[in-house]
Structure 1
Amino acid sequence: MAKLFYWIAPVYTGLIIYFSISDSPAPPVEINNIDKLYHCGAYFIMALLWYFFFYSRFLTQQSHFKFTWKDMIAAWSRTIGLAAAIFSFIIGVIVELAQEYIAVNRTMDFMDALANTTGIILAICLIWLLSKRFNTYS
């Protein structure tokens, strides 16, 4: 399972960066601010993936510990959650800056950054809440 998390988070992040900076091939949707929901969802998933990435990297150092995704949620790590949140936030800020200064036909938008941050916070809060439910270590 650890090897899955070694590549899925970086690949997903790379795809988010690519599609955020490249010209948008999809036709616009006629729902007001639907892109904010896309941003929130994309960064929600990104923060979850980076949490599992960092946690699996930590746990592979513990040779005696066999783990599943449920174990990683149950044994909540505030440090790893914070690292995943900060890393995802930095990626979001870099992408917004790249949209302003590098991308063609893209502009930086504070509301996009706010939607990204909302998705990140929701993801970390979800893991924390699920840890309370799955926690068998206390």
Structure 2
Amino acid sequence: MKLTLKYYGPAILWALFILIICAIPFGDVGSSSLFFPGFDKLVHCGLFFVLSVLYCYGSIRKWQTRSIRIEIAMKNTIVLVSYGAFIEMLQRYIFTWRSGDWNDLLADSIGACMGIFAVLITSNAINYENN
């Protein structure tokens, strides 16, 4: 177990950062004139994009491959979307000062899929270049 977690260290730290950010009450910050209406969704998408890249990096290191296999990418997608759903459930039922939103979960899922797709494309391009 400890050996497995060492590969996912950066992803675990980023996931904890996401959890903390999603638990903090922001009050009226979202209604500030500094932010546009979809800014919250863009933040969710970006946070999960980074999380998925770090998680895929851990998977590549764990399985000692040069690219991510499709079955690992599917597993990673399920784990990341489940984590997004977990955070939204926490916001809905535990962090009552925040609101769990289906649109936030959709933004989390899109960010996770974008990150996994980016890793697939990048790793395949690097492997193609090296061959």
**TM class by shorter-chain length?**
0.7 to 0.9
Q: Does the residue aligned with 2:100 lie in a helix, a strand or coil? A: coil
Q: Distance in 2 between matches of 1:27 and 1:86?
A: 31
**1:62 match:** none
- Aligned residues of 1:8 and 1:49 also touching (Cα < 8 A): yes
Q: CA offsets per residue over residues 17-54 of structure 1, 9 Å max, x none?
A: 12112223793343111110000000011111111112
Q: Distance in 1 between matches of 2:27 and 2:63?
A: 38
Residues 1-138 of structure 1 mapped to structure 2, 5 A cutoff: 5-24=7-26, 27-28=29-30, 29-59=34-64, 72=66, 75-136=67-128
Q: Distance in 2 between matches of 1:101 and 1:107?
A: 9
Pair 96,3 (structure 1): closer, same or farther in 2 beyond 3 Å = closer
Structure 1 stretch 119-128 or stretch 76-85: which is displaced more? 76-85
- Aligned residues of 1:99 and 1:106 also touching (Cα < 8 A): yes
- Aligned residues of 1:23 and 1:104 also touching (Cα < 8 A): no
**1:63 match:** none
Give ranges in structure 1 of 5+ residues lacking alignment. Answer: 60-70
**1:67 match:** none
- Aligned residues of 2:45 and 2:110 also touching (Cα < 8 A): yes
Q: Does the residue aligned with 1:135 lie in a helix, a strand or coil? A: helix
Give ranges in structure 2 of 5+ residues lacking alignment. Answer: none
Give percent identity, aligned residues only. Answer: 22
Pair 34,57 (structure 1): closer, same or farther in 2 beyond 3 Å = same
| Runs of at least 4 residues off by over 6 Å | none
Q: Distance in 2 between matches of 1:26 and 1:7?
A: 34
Cα RMSD of the aligned pairs, angstroms, is 2.4
